[in-house]
Chain A
Amino acid sequence: MNGALFARTLAWQRLRWIIVSIAIFGWGILIPVVYAAFSDVIRDLANSGAFPEELLSFGSGSLFTLPGAVTLGTQHPLVLAMLGIFAVGATSTAIAGERQRGTLEVLLSRPISRTTVYTSITAGLLLVVASVLFTFLAGFVVGAAIQGVLDELPIEHMPMVLLNGLLLWGAFATFGLAASVSFDRPGPAIGLTLAYLIVNYFFEILGSLWQEAEWTQEFSLFHHFQPAEILAGAVDPIDFVILGATFVVPIVYALVVFPRRDLAAPA
């Protein structure tokens, strides 16, 4: 890994990193507040049968329990957008963008192998994704403490939740980077990564709202992010294996493909 490139990768993200971190910390605080304020109401609604339970949940999350609220908070479209800025936007433009601008050849004319370029950028962007996730969970804990419901949140399992989340969003990030090393322009790389994210999200939400389509959730990476189960002490290693594999395979692909690509002069 190259320290200068790693530092520069972080520096490129600096402004949006700060803004998103503040926003997602606030969102993290808000979820326990909503849980404390509305969970009884929602539970009563569910028990009354006035609304199907599926409509009172979201994806694999719900407001019935505080751990369920963690899942709900991380699967909300707002979080998807905030984390997507880095896991989709920054990753898929990282190398394809440099290639299109013509700065990649200035970079590669230095004594750095393409493998080093890839690993330095990947490490930088994964650090950003991890820090944003951490900030969300930190906000969540702070929110739970403010609402006095911290006793419902087994803090000791939170590192495992962070790891689970990092594998999920890391899988999208490494996919974005694999797309980025494959194209000469960022457009196709962004499109492909965004499609990957949306299809996964669609399968998860579709399965949660429509019982006949519940099987689609198995094909969604989001379904293998299970903070509620982890916080309940029931870690399913299969979830980690699946997310781990989808995290690693794009890295292996990029490490094989990028050094072998011909980089003709930018158009």
Chain B
Amino acid sequence: MPRVERSAEVSWEGNLARGEGRISAPSGIFSEAPYSAATRIASRPETTSPEELLAAAHAGCFAMSLAGELREAGARIDVTANVVLDEVDGKGHQIVESQLEVRARAPGLEQAAFDEAVEAADRGCPFSRLIAAAAKVTINATLED
């Protein structure tokens, strides 16, 4: 399989405490999305943060991975990722955890097969593997009727 590269650009002005950055993605799906230190720590509407972007990446990655495991054309998968940034003694701010809430509907799928698929999806999700060296990944998965 070929290598795939994806890039994004940020323009930052000023220092950390009072400055502000703008994030753009070449796909055009977001352009000059604002963020700042204040909104990274204390959320403000309409301003994203690195952790929010990672939450979006993890939820997107896990949903695809589980879809690949279920192989059900009629499946519907809902994933919420919650990424936690915390102060760690001697290390400053670190991303310590990503918590996944998964709900799936897959016609005819048994609970045991679903549980196996969730485990396989975690092993196969590139993002889960990526952060496993530094942060904890927790998964709470429910199979719905």
A and B are partners in one complex rather than unrelated chains: no
Chain A contact residues, CB within 8 Å of chain B: none
Which residues of B line the A interface, CB within 8 A?
Answer: none
